[in-house]
Amino acid sequence: MTSLTLVIRPERPGDADAVDRLHARAFGPGRFARTAYRLREGTVPMADLCFTALVGTYLVGSVRIAPAQAGGLLLVLGPLTVDPSFEGRGIGGSLMRASLDAARASGHGVVVLVGDAPYYRRFGFAPVPPGRLLPPGPVDPARFLWLELRPGALDTVSGNVKAVRPR
Closest CA to 80 of 99, 102, 62: 62
Global pTM reads: 0.89
Alpha helices (H) along the chain: 16-27, 35-38, 91-105, 117-120
Residue 127: CATH number of its domain: 3.40.630.30
Range of the domain at 108: 6-163
Give 62: exposed, middle or buried? Use CB within 10 Å, 0-12, 13-18, 19+.
Answer: buried
* CB-CB neighbours of 98 under 10 Å: 19
Query: pLDDT category, 43, cuts 50, 70, 90?
Result: confident
Tell me if 154 is assigned to some domain.
yes
To the nearest 10°, the Cα dihedral for 43, 44, 46, 52? Answer: 110
Tell me if 1 is assigned to some domain.
no
Percentage of the chain exceeding pLDDT 70: 89
- Identify the H or E element spanning 78: strand 73-82
Query: pLDDT category, 39, cuts 50, 70, 90?
Result: confident
Mean pLDDT along residues 114-120: 95
Question: Are 98 and 106 contacting, i.e. CB atoms less than 8 angstroms apart?
Answer: no
Q: How many separate domains does the chain show?
A: 1
Tell me if 87 is assigned to some domain.
yes
Tell me if 12 is assigned to some domain.
yes
Tell me if 97 is assigned to some domain.
yes
- Can you tell me the distance from the alpha carbon of 118 to that of 6, in angstroms, rounded to the nearest whole number? 25
55-111 pLDDT, tens digit per residue, is 999 999 999 999 999 999 999 998 999 998 898 999 999 999 999 999 999 999 999
87 Cβ contact partners less than 8 Å away, ≥ 6 residues apart: none
Q: What is the DSSP letter of 91?
A: H
Closest CA to 143 of 14, 39, 29: 39
Give the lowest-confidence range in 65-69, 94-98, 126-130, 136-140. Answer: 136-140
